[in-house]
């Protein structure tokens, strides 16, 4: 392992922990001595990494530190490129454009050897037999998710029967040919799943959801996706 890779590993370990990590743990995880670990910590601090702590007390990386482009490994570059390509093809218009803009920005600041890896088409997104529809409601749903607000839905089930729902959005699942909103439904008093292409109209309400989204995510996961208003399982 090169020294650059080792410094990256130390940063990644620190980013995975919110509480201080002892020098002994860092040294063991990276396969180096404590003396070398202390030197590496000092090097990272001189490079701008806000690492608090000292020998014997442990170290913690303050939030907000951004890794410079040179610190991305080739495999990480490939993963970023593949993910952004997928988002550019399989999400709604604004999100797809944001993914393409992000690719352009990232490609512009990468060093030449990594830019070539980033722009290489060794990994491609294969078009679906039935590509997902570009649903106009997705930007509104994403807004409600980000702001933790209730959504009012005019929803049609698989038989075409329409109902008015007020839901607390939890997450959106992106499938090959559709997207599904998971949410707490006030009408059913339970978690339900709504195909986005069956939402006839959506409005973001001013009212905040009674529960934080991360709390609802934990509860929803326990349901194991066994229920749906779309008729699918």
- The tens digit of pLDDT for each residue in 158-179 reads 888 999 999 999 999 988 778 8
Residue 226: pLDDT band (50, 70, 90) is: low
Tokens of 209: 């959801």
What pLDDT is attached to residue 131?
54
pTM of the complete model beyond 0.95: no
pLDDT band for position 140 (50/70/90)?
Answer: very high
The per-residue pLDDT for 230 is 47
The number of angstroms, rounded, from the C-alpha of 70 to the middle of its chain's C-alpha atoms is 22
User: What's the rounded Cα separation, in Å, for the pair 8 and 109?
Assistant: 19
3-class state of residue 207 by DSSP: strand
The tens digit of pLDDT for each residue in 89-127 reads 777 788 888 888 888 888 877 777 777 778 777 777 776
Residue 233 has pLDDT above 70, yes or no: no
Classify the C-alpha dihedral 116-119-125-127 as positive or negative: negative
Is residue 155 a contact partner of residue 162, using CB atoms and an 8 Å limit? yes
Q: How many separate helices (H) and strands (E) can be counted in the chain?
A: 8, 7
Residue scoring higher pLDDT (168 or 12) = 168
Mean pLDDT lowest among 31-45, 129-143, 160-174, 212-226: 129-143
Query: Does position 55 have pLDDT exceeding 80, yes or no?
Result: no
pLDDT attached to residue 133: 56
Is the pLDDT reported for residue 215 higher than 90? Answer: yes
Q: DSSP letter at 64? A: T
The better pLDDT of the pair 1, 7 is held by: 7
* pLDDT of res. 220: 93
Query: With bands split at pLDDT 50, 70 and 90, how would you rate the model's confidence at 73?
Result: confident
């Amino acid at each position: 392992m090169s020294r650059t890779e080792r410094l990256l590993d130390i940063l990644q370990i620190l980013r995975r922990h919110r509480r201080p990590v002892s020098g002994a743990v860092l040294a063991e995880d990276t396969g180096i001595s404590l003396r070398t670990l202390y030197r590496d910590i000092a090097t990272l601090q001189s490079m701008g990494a806000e690492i608090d702590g000292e020998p014997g007390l442990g170290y913690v990386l303050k939030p907000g530190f951004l890794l410079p482009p040179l610190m991305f490994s080739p495999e990480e570059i490939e993963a970023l490129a593949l993910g952004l390509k997928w988002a550019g093809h399989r999400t709604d218009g604004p999100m797809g454009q944001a993914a393409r803009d992000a690719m352009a920005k990232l490609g512009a600041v990468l060093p030449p050897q990594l830019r070539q890896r980033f722009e290489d088409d060794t990994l491609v997104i294969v078009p679906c037999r039935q590509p997902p529809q570009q649903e106009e409601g997705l930007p509104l749903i994403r807004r409600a998710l980000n702001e933790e607000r209730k959504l009012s839905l005019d929803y049609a089930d698989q038989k075409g029967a329409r109902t008015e729902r007020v839901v607390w959005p939890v997450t959106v699942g992106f499938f090959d040919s559709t997207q599904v909103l998971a949410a707490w439904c006030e009408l059913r008093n339970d978690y339900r799943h709504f195909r986005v292409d069956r939402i006839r109209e959506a409005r973001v309400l001013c009212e905040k959801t009674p529960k934080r989204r991360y709390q609802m995510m934990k509860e929803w996961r326990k349901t194991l996706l066994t229920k749906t208003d779309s008729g699918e399982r």
